[in-house]
Chains A and B, each alone.
Chain A
Amino acid sequence: MNTEPPLQSVSPTTVKILTIDDSRMVHAVLGRAFRCYNVELCSAQNGREGLGLVAQGATPPDLIVLDINMPEMDGLEFLRQLRGLTGFEALPVVLLSADSGRRSAEDLKGLGAQRFVSKPFTEQQILEVVMDLLPLALK
């Protein structure tokens, strides 16, 4: 008896990444970084807007790229509230900030984030960090 699962056709999977930053420049750079990959980008200008997208979105994001220093609701408050939502306890989050050096793994664990990218960053740097958490398929 054959117990192997039936073969399925493999198609590139589109992943959904939510970017939250108050700078349109950063959104533009992130858009360029992911342009060659099957990535659906959605964006928010601050934590409050990001929480709204997460809570109301029919399809939750697979990963969030999150600025820390933002008006209205900053990234750390967004992260605190996100981790309180059912189903978002372990969603991968990459923190962005100009306001610090390299954060230690313990810092990130305490903040509820998986990675930290210091601004300024190159397209290659953010790609490497995201692809370490989430496989991206080329278009």
Chain B
Amino acid sequence: MQRNFEEGMQGAVSGVMATMLDLEIRTTGQIAPLLHTELVCGSVGFAGPGIAGTVYLMATDSLAAGAVARIFGGEAAKASEADKLDLVGELTNMIVGEFKSRCLRAWPGCHLTVPTVVCAPMIRIESHEANLSFHLFFQTVGDPHHFSTRTHILINQEQT
């Protein structure tokens, strides 16, 4: 199941980035810059009978600024924090929606939360209750920017 979920998340991220930002991406191994730079982190939860979880999208500040410039026009260097937060939040919302339609059809009553977004230099996310977790790393093709998704899911086998 975890392999299917990971592939579903990769497909969701690729599809959203291509459709909304015209960005081609590829998966990579763990990326050092994500551990030391300013990050914009969006999160969207999902819950329904038998399942609950949260997906975090962590983008470097430079990726968020570049994406703002693509959507709103103007220079990346002048991207406002409000626009970066808005954009990462909406991208997270779209990615989780796409992940849901790819992987969570077995839980039909599952709904998404409204996104929340924070901006910080060091973000550490742990879950002590999830029984399925994975962390995927991505890089944009061409001008390389880095980002990752972290997914924590609690599946109640008795209700599934």
Contacts and interface: CB of A to CB of B under 8 A. Distances in A.
A121 B91 CA distance: 12
A119 interface: yes
Contacts of B87: 23-25
A100 B101 contact: yes
Interface of B: 15-16, 19-20, 71-72, 82-83, 86-87, 89-91, 93-94, 96-98, 100-101, 105, 111-112, 114
A97 interface: yes
Interface in A101-139: 101, 118-122
Interface residues of A, number: 20
Contact of A70 (B72, B91, B114): B114
A92 B114 CA distance: 25
Contacts of B111: 99
Q: Chain A interface secondary structure, helix, strand, loop or mixed?
A: loop
A121 B114 contact: no
A121 B19 contact: yes
B72 A28 contact: yes
25 contacts: A23-B87, A23-B89, A23-B93, A24-B82, A24-B86, A25-B72, A25-B86, A28-B72, A29-B71, A69-B112, A71-B114, A98-B96, A98-B97, A100-B97, A100-B101, A101-B105, A118-B97, A118-B101, A119-B93, A119-B94, A120-B19, A120-B20, A120-B98, A121-B19, A122-B19
B98 A69 contact: no
Contacts, number: 57
Contact of A99 (B15, B91, B100): B100
A26 B90 contact: yes
Contacts of B16: 120
B94 A69 contact: no
A88 B130 CA distance: 46
B83 A24 contact: yes
A101 B100 CA distance: 9
Contacts of A26: 90
A97 B90 contact: no
A26 B101 CA distance: 20
Given A29-B71, A69-B114, A98 B83 contact: no
A22 B94 CA distance: 13
